[in-house]
Amino acid sequence: MTGWQECRKFKTGYVVIKQAISRVRRLKQEIEETRQEIERAEREYDLERLAQLKYGRYLYVLERLVKSMGAFDKTLEFIKNCSIEELTKELSRYGIEFEEKRNSDC
């Protein structure tokens, strides 16, 4: 692999990792907001809302977070073990385009 290909693979991997981290951060924020709403429903003794939040939304968001974290681990492993062509092809399946630059700088 040439220096340019190494640089391109690094940049592409960086984009993927950055997006995965953003997704995990958003989900963690959503979990925190849901916890606050659960506490509010408990204080107000709103049992219907409490049940919806605690056994519906909260569990759903937690499940999404666990899946995202698992996908993040798989993504890191994939990036380490694939060629730039494989990585670019995989990204394009998800609508992520990588701009190709053929200069000496990363």
| Cα 84 from Cα 105, distance rounded (Å) | 17
| Cα 17 from Cα 24, distance rounded (Å) | 11
For residue 7, the model assigns a pLDDT of 57
**pLDDT tens digits for range 14-57:** 777 778 778 888 988 999 999 999 999 999 999 999 999 999 99
Mean pLDDT of the chain: 77
- Name which of 10, 14, 16 is nearest 96 in CA terms: 16
**pLDDT tens digits for range 54-65:** 999 999 998 888
Domain assignments of the chain as residue spans, ordered by start: 3-87
Q: What single letter denotes the amino acid at residue 18?
A: K
For residue 56, the model assigns a pLDDT of 93
The pLDDT-based confidence of 67 (bands split at 50, 70, 90) is confident
pTM (whole model) above 0.75: no
